[in-house]
Amino acid sequence: MTTGFDVNAIARLRDLLTEERALIVTGRASEAAALIGDKAGALDQVEALINGGQADALPSAHRRELQAIVRMAQENAVYFTAIRNGLRSAINRLETMHDNAYVGSYTRYGQQVAFPQATGSYQKKA
C-alpha cells in the first residue's frame, strides 16, 4: 500500500534524468544544471517512500524502475564529472597559454623576455 506517496514521482524523476542526459550529450550542461530544483523535489518524494517504510509495498515493476533511475543518475554524474574535468583542463590551458609567449622585449644580452617575467610599461609602436 502506498498511501501518502505519489507513484508518479518515480516517473517524474526518470523523465527529469532522461531530459538531463539529453541536455548533457547535446552540450547544454547549463540547462541540465538548471533542472536541479525539479530533480530535488521529485527525489524528495521518492525518498519519502523509501524512508517511510513503504518501499516494501511497491510492486516489483516500480522497484526495477527505481534501480534504473539509480543507474541513470550515476551515468549522468559521470557525464557531469567529465564536463567539470574538461572545463578545468580548458581553464588550465588558458591560464598557461601565455607562459611560453614573449613580449617583444629583450634583455641587455639580447634574449627575449618571457611574458610572465615582463615588468614595467611598454609603449606601442606608432
Select the highest-mean-pLDDT range: 18-27, 48-57, 94-103.
Answer: 18-27
Predicted TM-score of the model (pTM): 0.66
Q: What range defines the domain where residue 54 resides? A: 8-91
Tell me whether residue 33 is in a domain: yes
18 within some domain:
yes
- Quick one: what percent of the chain has pLDDT higher than 90? 40
pLDDT band at 2 (very low <50, low <70, confident <90, very high): very low
Q: Cβ neighbours of residue 17 under 8 Å, at least 6 residues apart? A: 39, 69, 72, 73, 76
Tell whether 55 is covered by a domain. Answer: yes
Whether the pLDDT of residue 65 is over 70: the answer is: yes
Domain count, the chain: 1
